[in-house]
Chain A
Amino acid sequence: MSSQQQKADKATEAEFGSYYLQRTTQELAEDLDKVRNADDFKADSVPFLVRALQQGAVQFSPDDQKRTVSAVKQKEG
């Protein structure tokens, strides 16, 4: 049970992580375009940028993450 629970938590965490990334990309789209056009933006900057945006996901508690993930699922379908 506990390992199943852990698996479920991991899955929620991953889903929330990708949702958070998508959300931040959407909210900050305008500025991100400017960053992409900056001189120091290279091909290998993409993973760095992804990490930069996504790292804030840890600031949300497991409960909030779960709540959001289920709300997103509900919205999708």
Chain B
Amino acid sequence: MGKRGNHHADDPAAFRKRQKVTHEVPAGEDVLSSDQLRKLLTFDQDLHRARHGLSSFKRLLDDIVANQDDRSAKINLLQEYLEDVKPRQISEDAVHLSDIMEMWSFAVQVNNDGVMSSAAVVLALLLHVISDSLRLVPYGLDICRTLLQERQLKSLSKNLSSEKGKGFIISPTLRLLKEIVSLDGGAFAKQVFRARSYTFAYLGRNLEVGNTGEGPEDAKKASVRTNAVKFFLACLKFLHSDGRKELLTQKELFSHLTFMIKTDAPWLVLEILNALKTCVLMDDKIPRDVKFKSFNTKTLTRVLSLYTYGTSANTDEEKTSVADKAHEFLLYVCTTPEAGILYPSTGLYPKPESDELVGGRRRGKFAGVESGLADHTFSKGIPVFNFVLSEFSQKLRPWSSLKHSELLVSMFSVAPELLADYFFTNRSFTFEPKLTMTWIGYATFLFSTMQLPLPPSFGDRSQFAHTPPPTTILLDNIIPLPINQKVLVRCLSPKSNLTSFFATRLLVTALEKLATAIKMHETATDSKDRAIWEAASRRLIDAFCQRIPDMKEIVRSYKTIPVENYLHRTLATRLIRLYYEVIPRVALAANFDVSPFFVDVLRSLDGDASDAEARSFGVMQLENLVSIASYSPGMRWFSKVDNITNGASSLPFTALLRLLCVDSEDSPSQQIKKVLTTVAVENQVVLSTTGIAPLLQALRAYKSKDSRGMVSVWSYLDNCINRCASSPIKYLEMLQLLVEETKISDEEPRCPLLIVALVEQLQYLSSSVDDSGTKAVAKFLSLYFNTESLGAETPVLVNHQYGKVKEHFSSKSITLKKLGSSSDITTLQAFESETAEEESTPLSKEKDETVIDGNSLRERLHVLIDEDPDTNVITRWAAKEVEDLMEDSVAARLVRLLASPHVHIRKEASTNILKMAAKIKESSYEEKDQVWLLLCEVAESSKPHIDAGPAPSAFVAFATHSLDVLRNPLHPLYPKVNTFLTRGPVWSAEKLPLAHDILHGEPSEDDRYYTEVTWLLAYLLDALVTPFDLSVFHKKRWFEKILSLGSNPYLRVNLRTRILRIIYRATCIESGSTTLVTRFGIISWLESQRALCESNEEASVIRALMRRIWDTCDQKKVEGWSRGGVQKLIDNVCKI
């Protein structure tokens, strides 16, 4: 490039314009001897000549670097020269290469840019050559020592502080410094750093003098920034930990290093990231606080910006490699505790606000249940240990970048505390369904988040031993905040299969995680804290249920999924099943009849119509539906359904049996087998000891021999199972007759009712099947009787019945082999292993009662009474929306205050209930009239009582439980509650509102009797708190009614437990136990219940309850009343 003409310099405009700096470097001459070189470099005040000498030296050095043929000769020449110019006296102050140093110093004094630049260029190059050649290193060390003398340091500093535009001076100087630092394994690194007032002059600025040209930086003409970065990185590399620490704390240097990282060349970015990782993050001697200050949110965000690194000038490969490296780097920083940024945290237990150590354990403001950790709500945000990561997490956009999403999820996995905090802070982003990539991205991120397992001990072993984590935090970990009921209902709408599919997946994961959390609550506790954990678990489930859609939404969504979308349908059935298994109260609240779906799937699986792929999903669906059917009481297993298998009608039970026979080893359908066994045993079709295994074994064995004959076998079996299940008494009587006939003892095994039915129905066989059919049935029966008699001895009854079978068929001239014939046994053995392995034997019971003491009885049956309810609700309710008053149970909490021990609170509550009723009545709330009526009635009914004491518990309990009913018009009690409310404005304190109608009236829907009873028992428990309540229960004979309800043999365990809880509650009230014993004969009732108990645990609970009643009653009075009978009975029972 030509120099500007001189005439421009005279032009006044030339000074106003910024002059383009160009410098002409003399070419120099070839150096042939050391002597020549020495002469060329002799100090001369004529700087033009000096420059000529330096250029000649540079030519020599360039030739060496270029690695030409005569390299060694030139190195020899160089060595000779270095030896020649060595100072005579070697000391610390000796100046090596004194001519060059002097030239440089002189040039600095007279501000000669050319020589200032050339001197630095030559020295940098010389050290570069020296560092490549071991024998020259001693000269290099001497030169470095010289360069670190004050005069040279000043020259260095002067060079570095040149104007920004003079990169030709600054860059070589930085290169020279880098060479000094790197020489001989960093021998001078420390000294260079120590002299930083010179050597680091303007480094901050120089780190930001980037590439000024257009397009990517030329590797040969590196920018000032590139050279500065290389110098900085060399310092990092060669300094030891203390030096690195000081380097990092140099004001703003680190920030200057990362400020322009996005515009650096790809190789430089990689070098920076590598150096920071290996020399800073991985150096465990650098204190955490230094790392922490360096890698603040600003730095992390700058590295994050590299995810979108590159301009059009960069190749795709370069862009990806930088983005990948940055991702790897951030993953390391944010997830490796040793890197120093990730701080140890306490999982789902938030950081205490006042962090103090008590007895080696961190105990802060939140610690302990007394301060309400478990039900603490974090209105101002969740305190976290990792505040830097928390801040950084808000910069991420997980919905639009896969890498961002991965990074954030990894952060959550190592610091679970961040999860709830992230969603709490980031509320602006909603999950409203839209068919966009952003929504899908967010759904993907949420799914990955929910897939993270809950940390063991919820993240902190020591706190875990004392208290459950806060419900809100745990809940957000199970189902993140953006996923709420409203949004999910929209996602599940039939408008889009995609949003519905994603929502279903999310819900499945959430429910599975909830189940794990509940299990953790159950196993967490030692006996002392059991009540607290149970309460926390209940609260968690309650809160969870408010976040998810009702069962009816799920069912509606399932119904709208096209039949051919079998993956989606399978997932939906799994979701319904999880509703039943994890949150049965929500599932059972919707009246879901599984039968039609069940039959549809069975039909679709029938025959060869479906392909293998659809079939495999069909089986999965069926497994789920079978489980659902086993939970829903309305399932009719033994009613014939038309056109279910091969166009014929069949029982669902038999249809499933057929399926089990068709399925090969790779689809064992264990779940179906388990449910069928339970159903068959419950209906007494087969024995509880063996289940359906023998039947299945015989069917499979027969099918393998003669699949055509199966038609007759199925039809016959279907008929017999149907009869057996629909009229068991007939067959039980026949069985009893057989027992008498064969005179077998009580210990002898019985035979299944199915066998009795199979034999009894033989007489009608010939009318329904032809000869080949008869043969098929005969062969099958022979196999089945064989499987039932496998074992040490053939049961007498089986043998006896088989005799009848043989007799019947011999009259049709079909001869059957005797039981245990080798050919039958061989046929059966092929199907043995499969049936033997899976049979669990929980069905057989052994009596082994464990002893339950008073404390564990309390844990099981005691339900806490909230004696000091939250009074804030009196003042706060007014600010809430009507929907929230109902949804967040604010109304219920206000009603509960009527039972407060303080008169002014009761009065306030009464007034506020009426105000609230008025507010609700004026609103647009759908059930406003009923709620208004209920609130007015409870306030009016309580009015005469609250001056003297708490309102009757029955009023409060009825009102609070009814509010839940009124909220949900599909609730089975909705009609009854409404009828009751319209009956009269005031309730009688001597009665329990509505209780009589439920227990003695007809259920509003046939199959909802038990749902109503469940509600009633919960209400009655809450209605029994004070001695006054006890007297109502006593006078109105409510105990009698409850106990006779408890005598119902079909009552499920959980309902029986509810009754025991009411009894336990009575024992907590003064004279309760005595009343129970002397007025209601509770001891003998309990004793009879104990004798009937099927589970040992339940029996133990009853025994402990008897003991408690005895311990808490007026023993003298009871003794007199029973003439010592009660004590004798208690002693006998407790001896067991």
Contacts and interface: CB of A to CB of B under 8 A. Distances in A.
Interface of A: 20, 23-24, 27-28, 30-32, 34-35, 38-42, 45, 47-49, 51-52, 55-56, 58-59, 64, 66-68, 70-72, 74-75
Contacts of B448: 55
Contacts of B615: 71
A7 to B, nearest CB: 19
B565 interface: yes
A55 B444 contact: yes
Given A35-B436, A67-B666, A27 B613 contact: no
A56 B563 CA distance: 20
Interface centre among A31, A34, A49, A58, by most chain B C-beta atoms within 10 angstroms, is A31
B567 A27 contact: yes
Contacts of A74: 612
Nearest to A32: B498
A40 B436 contact: yes
B616 A68 contact: yes
B401 to A, nearest CB: 8
Given A49-B437, A52-B441, A67 B667 contact: yes
Nearest to A41: B437
A48 B444 contact: yes
B1056 interface: no
B617 A31 contact: no
B1071 interface: no
B402 A35 contact: no
A51 B435 contact: no
B440 interface: yes
Contacts, number: 86
Nearest to B623: A64
Given A38-B437, A48-B402, A31 B616 contact: no
A17 B555 CA distance: 27
Contacts of A51: 402, 444
B539 interface: no
A70 B440 CA distance: 30
28 contacts: A24-B501, A24-B567, A27-B565, A27-B568, A28-B498, A28-B501, A31-B498, A34-B435, A35-B440, A35-B498, A38-B435, A38-B436, A40-B437, A40-B438, A42-B437, A45-B437, A48-B441, A49-B440, A52-B441, A55-B451, A56-B571, A66-B666, A67-B619, A67-B620, A68-B616, A71-B613, A75-B611, A75-B613
Interface string B404-435: 00000000000000000000000000000001
Interface in B347-399: none
Given A52-B441, A52-B443, A56-B505, 16 more contacts: A27-B497, A27-B565, A32-B498, A35-B437, A38-B436, A45-B437, A49-B437, A52-B440, A55-B444, A59-B509, A59-B571, A68-B617, A70-B666, A72-B612, A72-B613, A75-B611
A70 B620 CA distance: 14
Interface of B: 400-402, 435-438, 440-441, 443-444, 447-448, 451, 496-499, 501, 505, 508-509, 564-565, 567-568, 571, 611-613, 615-617, 619-620, 666-667
Interface of B: prevailing SS: helix
A27 B561 CA distance: 10
A20 B447 contact: no
Contacts of A24: 501, 567
Nearest to A23: B567
Contacts of A52: 440-441, 443-444
- Of all A-B residue pairs in the complex, the 3 with the closest CB atoms, nearest first, are A31-B498, A71-B616, A71-B612
Contacts of B613: 68, 71-72, 75
Contacts of B617: 68
A52 to B, nearest CB: 4
Contact of A31 (B496, B505, B564, B571): B496
Nearest to B667: A67
A67 B437 CA distance: 32
Nearest to B448: A55
B508 A59 contact: yes
Contacts of B620: 64, 67
